[in-house]
Amino acid sequence: MSTEKSLRRLSRIAVVGAGVMGSGIAATALGHGVDVVLVDVDSATLEQARRRIGEQLRHASLLGALPEVPAGELTATTVIGDVAGAAVVIEAVTELPEAKAKALAEISGAVSPGTPLISNTSGIPIDELAEWTARPEDLAGTHFMNPTYLIKMVEVVRAPRTSEAAMATIIEMLTALERTPVVVADAPGFVTSRLLHPMINNATRVVGAGTATAESVDALMCGCLGHPTGPLRTADLIGLDNLVDSLNALYERTGDESCLPSEPLLEKVRAGDLGRKTGRGFYDYGKAMT
């Protein structure tokens, strides 16, 4: 099916969760002419998301990262039932199993059977989350990378019960949004987080031990090992609180000691220095993201 036909068929999607990832996914879809229903329980978060999405669309346009098409229409709402009628629903709430389970149960009850559901997660097994849905066959996972409007590859997780129809629609949607889907099997952390997050955690231990500064760690990882930004700048972009949640989820499911959040990382979170979104993490960004 052509991209144009796919966009017509998938003309309206819903995103539940208006944080950094949810607003980024919404911006990517809007920039490709797709209407988006953005749902969050908090009206203030939705207003922040509107501003963030506008900034992202302008930035993406300046960089030539979007096609020359009219942007889709954004509908921001606190009513979960407004996801009804969407071609695909993407859950992008905080990286806590109980929060995702609650959201997926509500979404599953609001949409018609056969509507593909996606949990955007950095590592919680999809089949575990499927237990909270009415129809496990409709659920698959994605792991969009931040910023979603610039990073075109998306990790797609097929759980044991995910149907062929759901996978086909999800792949069609990502392709229409000019993303490159890479399908992997279901497991804690999948591929990217299982490799990246323990590495970031170890980088925070190196800084905490006084072996090197954050700048030196990132410089060496970029210059010697080819990492594009360095693990600690990446951590700040992910959000240090999100990273801690993801590491805890990995540790609980694998028992891997390298996934226990380090004390330097926990200290940052306790201090409220969560990375770019608060203006300070392992680096100082001057102002918080809004």
pLDDT computed for residue 4 by the predictor: 64
Q: List the CATH number of the domain containing 261.
A: 1.10.1040.10
273 and 141, same domain (yes or no): no
Question: Is 287 inside a domain boundary?
Answer: no
pLDDT computed for residue 146 by the predictor: 87
Residue of 68 and 119 predicted with greater confidence:
119
Label residues 33-57 b or e (16+ Cβ within 10 Å = b): bbbbbbbbeeeebbebbbebbeebb
Q: In total, how many domains does the chain have?
A: 2
- At 91-139, the pLDDT tens digits run 999 988 999 999 999 999 999 999 999 999 999 999 999 999 999 999 9
Decide which of 159, 185, 211 is a domain's last residue: 185
pLDDT computed for residue 236 by the predictor: 97
- At 48-64, the pLDDT tens digits run 999 999 999 999 999 99
Decide which of 161, 185, 209 is a domain's last residue: 185
Domain of 199 in residue numbering reads as 193-278
Question: How far is CA 263 from each of CA 198, 210, 254, 267, 274, rounded to the nearest angstrom?
Answer: 14, 13, 20, 6, 14
Do 111 and 117 contact (CB within 8 A), yes or no? yes
Average pLDDT for 2-13? 71
Question: Is 208 inside a domain boundary?
Answer: yes
68 and 135, same domain (yes or no): yes
- At 208-257, the pLDDT tens digits run 999 999 999 999 999 999 999 999 999 999 999 999 999 999 999 999 99
Do 16 and 90 contact (CB within 8 A), yes or no? yes
Q: List the CATH number of the domain containing 109.
A: 3.40.50.720
